[in-house]
Copies of this chain bind each other. A is one copy, B any other.
Amino acid sequence: MEKDARDIFKEIGLRVTPQRLEIFKILASMHGHPAAEDVFERIRRRFPSISFDTVYRTLSLFENHGLIKKVHHLADKTRYDTNLKRHHHFVCIRCKKIIDIEWDEIDGIPMPKGVENLGRVEDRYVELRGICKDCLNEEEE
């Protein structure tokens, strides 16, 4: 997010509103991985009457234009895993289907440098994200 927010919005055909500019600025300045609520708390300082809806709408908008990303594609409801065998997942970003995959080679790769300073790693989890067969077929029609 280097360029001026105003230019970025114009490039992708978005109206330039003060709320959007401010949310953009907040996101750029906020390290960590904010939730909508965090953004809301911050922007309220400048726009005390801003609504939650505007924040959510703007975050969606930014996401749809690739300016930000959701950390997970399955944040709507908690899903449980009954397969206790070590495995990873293929997740369809369209229909949210989850398919188990085995991928032992993952465990062989050395940790990236510096991770030991972050904490104690207890597990490695890999998610292959894409479009599942069913959704690809529907697309064709």
Contacts and interface: CB of A to CB of B under 8 A. Distances in A.
Contact of A132 (B99, B118, B128): B118
A120 to B, nearest CB: 5
Given A71-B81, A79-B35, A124 B123 contact: no
Interface of A: 1, 27-28, 30-37, 39, 59, 63, 66-72, 74-75, 77-82, 84, 89-90, 92-93, 98-99, 101-103, 105-106, 109-112, 114-115, 117-136
B71 A71 contact: no
B70 A81 contact: yes
Given A99-B118, A118-B90, A81 B33 contact: yes
A69, A82, A99 interface centre (most CB from chain B within 10 Å) = A82
Contact of A130 (B39, B103, B119): B119
A133 B109 contact: no
A136 B120 contact: yes
Contact of A125 (B105, B123, B129): B129
B105 A81 contact: no
